[in-house]
Amino acid sequence: MRVKVRLFALFKELAGSGKVELEFDNDQITITDVIKALGERVNKRLEELILSKYKQYSSLLILVNGKNIRLLKGLETSIKDGDEIAIFPPGAGG
């Protein structure tokens, strides 16, 4: 299974790129698995920040094919082959 992850702002800086492709041997993965894979394969700090900020800020946005995971099953949202995941850090108000 292959998924595309798009990262923005601080997350993009930590990854060194705004786009990351991940491959999995398992066909039953969740957003949590994707975030852990980012930590293992790209940057451990990236995983830690995404998970901590997701729990702390409702403005951290994770989309699967344009749908907010908070309106689905949160971090346990299932991922399918070819899905695109976008992760935006919390925004600053003003």
CATH topology (fold) of 2-88: Ubiquitin-like (UB roll) (3.10.20)
| pLDDT > 70? residue 69 | yes
**DSSP letter for each residue of 19-45:** EEEEE-S-S-EEHHHHHHHHHHHT-HH
Give just the sign of the alpha carbon dihedral 31, 33, 37, 39.
positive
The residues spanned by each domain of the chain are 2-88
| pLDDT reported for residue 57 | 84
Picking from 36-45, 51-60, 76-85, which range would have the lowest pLDDT averaged per residue? 51-60
| pLDDT > 70? residue 94 | no
| pLDDT > 50? residue 84 | yes
| pLDDT > 90? residue 16 | yes
Which of residues 15 and 57 earns the better pLDDT score? 15
Q: Which helix (H) or strand (E) segment is 67 a member of?
A: strand 67-68
Give just the sign of the alpha carbon dihedral 59, 44, 24, 18.
positive
